[in-house]
Structure 1
Amino acid sequence: MDDGAHAWREQRERAVRAHAAAHEQRRADEAAEAARLVAWFAAEANQRGLRRRRLSVQPYDGGGRYRSRLTGWYVDRARSRAVDAHGNFYLLSVPSGLRARLFGATPRPQPAPLIVGEGGRDGESVPLRELLTRRLAAGDDWP
């Protein structure tokens, strides 16, 4: 292998690593911004006295809903996303099963996306800030 090819390969590898690092930094920045927005929403909802509800969870197969121990606010009309009083974001879907049907299910907090619904099949996406602002504006008049 000649020196030119070796130098080109090294340069290419450095460029790939730099691109990957920049991508990871962008993702980390977006996750931090989304976490700040969710914490802001929870604090604002608590301050305004928005009524918290016991959240239900939908199985992946779409059959019915399961109870959960979580309380908080649904942030979309489909009741598939919610925020609890501590500022945790939840995707309210779990695997179906008899245990969940009998005893309920508790999903784990997830990192919130800055664009909710991005990449979904229905093509509907909304910025997280807008979704949370709409939810606050609706007050307790939310399905």
Structure 2
Amino acid sequence: MSDDWAAQRTEAARVQAELLRARQDAEHERAEALLREFVAAAAHAGLEPEPLLVKGYGGRGTARTTLRGWYLRTDRTAGVTTDGTFYVLTAPLTLVDRLRGARVEPQRPPLVLGAGGKDGSSIELVAALERVLPGWRGPAT
């Protein structure tokens, strides 16, 4: 009986993990669609992209990147490039990174930036995009 129970629990855990992955994938896909829509609206509005910098952990310095786009958070720790790719703009920076520039990897975007962080540090992606380009989605219908 205990082997059967253990097998059932293992299967239930596997199913739960699959459901969680599916929910996360759906969230990322909605966020990616929002970023593509925003980038098109920004280009249409003539919103100029700017060079994106990476901040060191704990606010320890900054480093250049080859990326151009828009910061999504007021603390400049997340951004979107002109092709709609999302980046977390914090990293452990070395002296070489600060002098030569840093390379950051794209991330799958969340619908809530900073979710699970300190109180008041999270913001919905739509609200962050609205701060960058007010009215970018047009009139609400």
Query: Normalized against structure 1, the TM-score is what?
Result: 0.84
User: Who is 1:28 aligned against?
Assistant: 25
User: Who is 1:86 aligned against?
Assistant: 83
Highest CA radius of gyration, 1 or 2?
A: 1
Unaligned runs of 5+ in 2: 137-141
User: Who is 1:16 aligned against?
Assistant: 13
- Give the length in aligned residue pairs: 136
Change (3 A) 1:12 1:71: same
Query: Is residue 63–residue 93 contact of structure 2 (8 Å, CA) maintained in 1?
Result: no
Out of 73, 83, 102, the position equivalent to 1:105 is 102
Q: CA deviation at 1:48?
A: 1.0
1:60-111 CA-partner distances (Å, limit 9, x unpaired): 1312222222111112211111111100111111222121111111211111
The root-mean-square deviation of aligned C-alpha atoms, in Å, is 1.9
- Taking the aligned partners of 1:100 and 1:138, their CA distance within structure 2 comes to 37
Change (3 A) 1:124 1:59: closer
- Taking the aligned partners of 2:91 and 2:121, their CA distance within structure 1 comes to 22
Letter in 2 for 1:51: E
| Corresponding position: 1:118 with 2:115 | yes
Q: Runs (4+) of structure 1 moved beyond 6 Å?
A: none
User: Who is 1:52 aligned against?
Assistant: 49
Letter in 2 for 1:49: G
1:89-139 CA-partner distances (Å, limit 9, x unpaired): 111112221211111112111111111111112443221122112221189
1:9-42 CA-partner distances (Å, limit 9, x unpaired): 3333322222111111111111111111111111
| Corresponding position: 1:71 with 2:49 | no
User: Who is 2:40 aligned against?
Assistant: 43
Unaligned runs of 5+ in 1: none
| Corresponding position: 1:132 with 2:129 | yes
- Taking the aligned partners of 1:55 and 1:86, their CA distance within structure 2 comes to 14
Letter in 2 for 1:96: L
SS of residue paired to 1:12: helix
Q: Percent identity among equivalent residues?
A: 38
- Taking the aligned partners of 1:116 and 1:65, their CA distance within structure 2 comes to 21
Query: Normalized against structure 2, the TM-score is what?
Result: 0.85
